[in-house]
Amino acid sequence: MFRCLTAVSGALLLCLSAQPSAAQAQMMCGDRGKVVSSLEKSYSEAPVSMGLASNGAVIEVFTSNKGTFTIIMTHPSGLSCLMAAGESWEELPKHEVGAQT
């Protein structure tokens, strides 16, 4: 599976701006079940968060205890595509907007 090993802030931009060949594009997308299984088997990554995009796609973040991460987008058709991947994932404490700290 294609992995962008860059800083988190630049990883998404790098992955989205790359112009892959037809063969690479096929490697970056696949059936969601197979993608999830591959992330689990190859990188010990499991889903930690998800959200619904305005286009109806589901965005998911997968992480491992080793700090690797992958972000995928799954279209309503079930096709999942790699958005970003890398290392040194870190969970930040959640803060409520407007809350006193």
**pLDDT one digit per residue (tens) for the chain, 101 residues:** 344 333 333 333 334 444 444 444 445 899 999 999 999 999 999 999 999 999 999 999 999 999 999 999 999 999 999 999 999 999 888 888 887 65
Kindly state whether residue 3 falls inside one of the protein's structural domains.
no
Q: Is residue 20 part of a domain?
A: no
Asked if 29 and 22 touch (Cβ cutoff 8 Å), the reply is: no
Domain count, the chain: 1
Instruction: Please report whether residue 51 resides in a domain.
Output: yes
Q: Which domain holds residue 36?
A: 8-12+27-86
**Which among 38, 86, 82, 37 has a CA at the least distance from the CA of 66?**
86
Structural domain contains residue 37: yes
Say what the pTM is. Answer: 0.68
> Does residue 52 lie in a domain region?
yes
Q: Is residue 21 part of a domain?
A: no
Alpha carbon distance 100, 65 (integer Å): 31
